[in-house]
Amino acid sequence: MKTYEINNQSELEQFKDEYEYKVNGNLDVKCSLDIQKRLYVEGDLYIKAGESIKAGESIKAGGYIKAGEYIEAGGYIEAGWYIEAGESIEAGWCYGIVAGLQITCKDKLTFGLKCFAGICAWRKISDEEKTITCGKFEGGVIEYGILKETGLEERKVKISCEGKEVEISRESAKALKLIN
């Protein structure tokens, strides 16, 4: 399957269809995307670390969906394999999340209706592969899968500079490369 690289939102226009965007292959995104309607990727969807994806309607990938920051959709989020976000995952208030394998995010997991993880039909899977891991679960019903909440990271970190200790946001500290 061919992999297409997107470096800015305008490069996505080559995949425009009547419903918004459809990619017949894998999509490797090097920027944040803000889509009005839906994005459908037949293969894998990868958004580099530090970037995010937001769609007014749905996000669907035949393979996996992986984002460095957050994944947000006004509609449903669906992946044939796994879904992973460095921060939060949020689906619309009257929609859900479906993954053939596990769902993972470090921050909040929110959706309106149901969540299914580990509904793989092509092979036997382990409990780990049907686990929904998040910092904090904030809504909806886990219809299938094993929920594992890890707790939210502190939003502020203490930094010492020239003998003074100050608190700054975790995001700022990461951007300044003071922490990983």
The pLDDT of residue 160 is 79
Distance CA 32, CA 8 (A): 8
Cα–Cα dist 153/168, whole Å = 14
On whether both 37 and 86 belong to a single domain, the answer is yes
What pLDDT sits at residue 86?
87
Are residues 124 and 74 located together in one domain of the fold? yes
Mean pLDDT score of the chain, rounded to an integer? 88
| 66-106 tens-digit pLDDT | 988 899 999 999 999 999 998 899 998 888 999 999 999 98
Identify the domain containing residue 111 by its residue range.
Answer: 3-149
Mapping DSSP to helix (H, G, I), strand (E, B) and coil, where does residue 130 land? helix
Residues 50, 71, single domain; the answer is yes
Kindly report, residue by residue over 49-65, the tens digit of the pLDDT.
Answer: 677 888 888 999 989 99
Whether 62 and 130 share a structural domain: yes
> Tell me, what's the pLDDT at 3?
94
Residues 6+ apart with CB under 8 A from 74: 55, 56, 57, 58, 92, 95
Residue with tokens 């490797």: 28
Query: What is the pLDDT, as a whole number, of residue 37?
Result: 85
pTM of the predicted model over 0.85: no
- For 52, residues 6+ apart whose C-beta sits below 8 A from its C-beta are 32, 33, 67, 68, 69, 70, 71, 72, 87
Query: What count of other Cβ atoms lies within 10 Å of the Cβ of residue 157?
Result: 17
